[in-house]
Amino acid sequence: MKEINVTVTGAAGQIAYSLLPRLISGETYGENTKVNLKMVEIPQVVERLEGTIMELIDCGFEQTGSLSSTDDINEGVKDADWVLLVGSIPRGIVVDGKKIEERSDLLRINGGIFTGQGKAVGEYAKENAKILVVGNPANTNALIGKTKSNNPNQEWFAMTALDANRAKAQLAKRAKCDISSVSNMTIWGNHSPTMYPDPFNAKINGVSAVEVINDKNWIENEYLPLVQQRGKAVIDARGASSAASAANAVIDTVKAVDNVTRPDDWFSAAIASDGSYDVPEGLIFGYPLKSNGQGKIEIVQNIELNDFAKSKIKITIEELLSEKAAVEDLLT
């Protein structure tokens, strides 16, 4: 078997609990790949990972390689091929006596975390490592991490696959079809309520989703809020944020990056803008992407955007620029 080194931060959290077994089972990296897994946590909870390691061993997967845990990010990302940055400080947590409620506070406190993680990844992970940021605010966390890594050969992504899966599910439900019939979904912009889940370029059985559904009012006034507010709806319903679906989206992203994209489809993730679609260069922005399966990721070009789409994309660009401005001192 070939081997791959994978690092997961926030490894004692709920998302990771759903994610970790699927990383070492052969599902994510293939049945012929042995996965050496390093789990990273903060000092206060890192001991919990001893039990997680016991469970992972007890799963008995043939693809399980070495399993280890640490509270040292430098040690955790050393020689990593894939770094999955799941951990972040969520809204509502009390830090130094202050409850983190405002997005500006969230940006600042996580900015400090991703400054350190970015430096560690740049210095200790493999030269061609791939990094997926899951912890929110994911796009700007990825921007900070990528900037601080100072390694142009490493590929940084922010996750939008959860939004894409939610968007596909809503289209499938409305069209009364299986979700596997929905393709070519793009989440433009930020992983936030300003995201634009593009229904006009999505397809249902190869036909424009908008044509199949044929309900302009639903598309423009109901569909977007359904997708944009789905995370909040999950929290309201279960009393906790998405975990299993978020873990699944991590796996979807890794597989999309590592495998050849079908000629008639693309996948959605946020990467550093090269100026495509008039997005300011350098912003970590959700795009339609294709992979050659060998580490080359390309933004799909020449997708037609109507005035409605352009107006929504403008909003999410403005939000990302505002977030960037709020952490500008961390980007130098």
d(CA 105, CA 184): 35
Coil, helix or strand at residue 265? coil
Report which of 131, 117, 145, 77 is spatially closest to residue 295, judged by C-alpha positions. 131
At position 50, the amino acid (one-letter code) is E
Catalytic positions: 191
Q: Tell me the C-alpha distance between 155 and 144, whole Å.
A: 13
In 3D, which of 62, 53, 20, 31 has the Cα closest to residue 250?
20
Closest CA to 103 of 186, 189, 194, 223: 194
Q: Which residues 6+ apart lie within 8 Å of 102 measured at CB?
A: none
Stated as kind and residue range, the H or E segment containing 203 is: strand 203-204
183 class by beta-carbon count within 10 Å (0-12 exposed, 13-18 middle, 19+ buried) = middle
Q: What is the DSSP letter of 292?
A: B
